[in-house]
Amino acid sequence: MSSSQKFPKALPPQFAACQAAINDTSIISITDLSGCILYVNETFVAVSKYLVEELVGKNHSVLNSGFHSSEFFAQMWQTIISGRNWHGEIKNKAKDGSFYWEDALITPVFNAAGKIFQFLSIRNLIRGQKKLPDNLAHDFLLEPLTLYRSLFNNSPFAIVIAEKATGKFMEVNQTATVVYGYSREEFLKLDVFDIRRTGNKEEFQTHFASAAYPADRNLRKHWKKNGSEMIVEVFVRELTYKGAPGYLITVHDVTYRVKMEGELAKEKLNKQKYIVEAQEQSRAAIGRELHDNINQLLVAAGLYLRNITVSSTRDQELLDTGIQILSKANDEIRKLSANLVAPAMENISLKDAIESFALNLKLAGTQAEIDVEINEKSLPENMKINIYRIVQEQVTNVIKYANARRLGIALIQNDGLITLEMADNGKGFNPQDVSKGIGFTNMAYRAEAYNGKLEITSAPGKGCRIYAEFHY
């Protein structure tokens, strides 16, 4: 190989990200996760004898020679989707019907989140098989920069190079001009602050020039030329371009993905609210049934028993015991009914409902410290019932299991956020032992129904703290 046929020692920095994907006279292709071809280089076209437009959008099955079994390709696919490289020899069929063998390496390409998003294939013709014509190999080696430029410009993602100190755009690819609507010439007159408008430009300039910027993976809004906005995810690499420190920034438009995620989250919340409300209706129906029917039957049974005439002291003792049992059952059903039916929030405030638990706690030897600071008129009725149920569940847990001397309950409102904290000094427990129990699961589910969360902090001998958030 003459010196004129060798790659230059230093390639332009904007192609640094692609440098590892190019080898002398290699056959290069890039596919998406489904195997659909996104890019092929000139050598691929020359060897396969297909045009670029006949390959892009298809998969490699267009080259299938019929030599390899389906198991062969299944094993290859299983290897690369598991995150490992596949290396082997493949017999392919060109467009003109001729066959050729390749030594192939297929490697998964990972994004910044560590997930596979493309596959890169690097292949070389095996000696003794069909080779590139000498004149084609010569032309290919003379134009490596064209290949790098093609990879840069034809990337499915918008790519820009920005100066680190000023944020000024120094280079953009063709996809960026399509996505943002600016021509290349217009882009090079702008800086990153023109497409990412922030409340405090000086703070963003400081952040942009800092070491923290390349690691910033937060979604952000970008503005297009026509004034519309999009939500993007960016991946940043530092480089030196034309003697100045800069960033190679790859931009993914995730507006549709975020919209779909938001709609799914909203649908999930609506379903959870529906389930919680249906659960309340079911509990109320059972409570009313116990109070209005079962309770009355027990009262009637007691009246009949009191009208029985007995002939011996022993029979009177048995009758009195039966009446006492009925009376206790009646009391228990009244308590159960009261627990099942939530108080009507239009008749009693949430604060009063929570403070009513203090008496039950006092009877169990637990001192209640209650702090409620909310504007109840601003809260939906179902949210207030949800909060009441969570407090009720934890008060029951403290009375039954905690052996606590104190329980603090704080319900605080701040803008669109309600926080509920309940902390006791009881015997505590291992949260992993109870986190899947019905009571705690139900409390967490109620918090999530209002776009919130619930956290449990406890340890043996350390008491228990329940913290919940509700957004409205």
The answer to whether residues 377 and 326 belong to one domain is no
The answer to whether residues 446 and 352 belong to one domain is yes
Nearest one of 200, 189, 252, 188 to 222, comparing CA atoms: 252
Q: Is residue 236 part of a domain?
A: yes
Q: Is residue 142 part of a domain?
A: no
Q: Is residue 144 part of a domain?
A: no
pLDDT at 309: 86
The answer to whether residues 407 and 381 belong to one domain is yes
Boundary residue ending a domain (233, 253, 273): 253
The answer to whether residues 247 and 283 belong to one domain is no
pLDDT at 198: 73
Q: Is residue 400 part of a domain?
A: yes
The enclosing domain of 46 has a CATH number of 3.30.450.20
Its domain, for residue 187, covers 158-253
Q: What share of the chain is helix, strand, coil (3-state, %, to 5)?
A: 45, 25, 30
Boundary residue ending a domain (133, 168, 186): 133
Backbone angles phi, psi at 458, to 5 degrees: -165, 165
Backbone angles phi, psi at 352, to 5 degrees: -65, -40
pLDDT at 256: 87
> What tokens appear for 185 in the block?
């010439």
How far is 335 from 338, CA to CA, in rounded Å? 5
The answer to whether residues 448 and 361 belong to one domain is yes
> Cβ distance 46 to 132 under 8 Å?
yes
Q: Is residue 149 part of a domain?
A: no
Q: Is residue 274 part of a domain?
A: yes
Boundary residue ending a domain (341, 369, 398): 341
> Cβ distance 105 to 112 under 8 Å?
no
pLDDT at 128: 54
pLDDT at 418: 92
Q: Buried b vs exposed e over 246-281: b needs ≥16 C-beta within 10 Å? A: bbbbbbbbebeeeeeeeeeeeeebeebbeebeeebe
The answer to whether residues 405 and 460 belong to one domain is yes
User: Could you list the pLDDT tens digit for every one of the 472 residues in the chain?
Assistant: 333 333 344 445 444 445 444 544 588 899 999 999 998 888 899 899 999 999 999 999 999 999 888 888 999 999 999 999 999 899 999 999 988 889 898 999 988 888 999 999 988 888 554 444 445 444 444 445 566 677 787 788 899 999 999 999 999 999 999 999 999 999 999 999 899 877 778 888 888 888 888 888 888 899 999 999 999 999 998 988 888 899 999 998 998 888 888 787 777 777 777 777 777 777 767 766 665 667 677 777 877 788 888 888 888 888 889 888 988 887 777 777 666 666 655 568 889 989 988 888 998 899 999 999 999 888 888 888 889 889 988 998 898 889 999 999 999 999 889 999 999 999 999 888 766 667 788 888 888 887 889 999 999 999 999 999 988 7
pLDDT at 8: 42
The answer to whether residues 289 and 187 belong to one domain is no
Q: Is residue 91 part of a domain?
A: yes
How far is 181 from 183, CA to CA, in rounded Å? 7
The answer to whether residues 350 and 472 belong to one domain is yes
pLDDT at 1: 35
How far is 111 from 256, CA to CA, in rounded Å? 19
> What tokens appear for 347 in the block?
């008749």
pLDDT at 108: 92
pLDDT at 3: 33
Say how many domains are in the chain. 4
The answer to whether residues 52 and 110 belong to one domain is yes
> What tokens appear for 125 in the block?
């013709």
The answer to whether residues 40 and 75 belong to one domain is yes
Backbone angles phi, psi at 234, to 5 degrees: -120, 150
The enclosing domain of 372 has a CATH number of 3.30.565.10
Q: Is 227 left (phi over 0), alpha (psi -120 to 50) or beta?
A: left
Q: Is residue 275 part of a domain?
A: yes
For residue 1, the one-letter residue type is M
For residue 456, the one-letter residue type is I
pLDDT at 33: 92
**Sheet of 220-223, strands arranged across:** 169-172, 158-163, 244-253, 229-241, 220-223
The answer to whether residues 394 and 465 belong to one domain is yes
The answer to whether residues 218 and 187 belong to one domain is yes
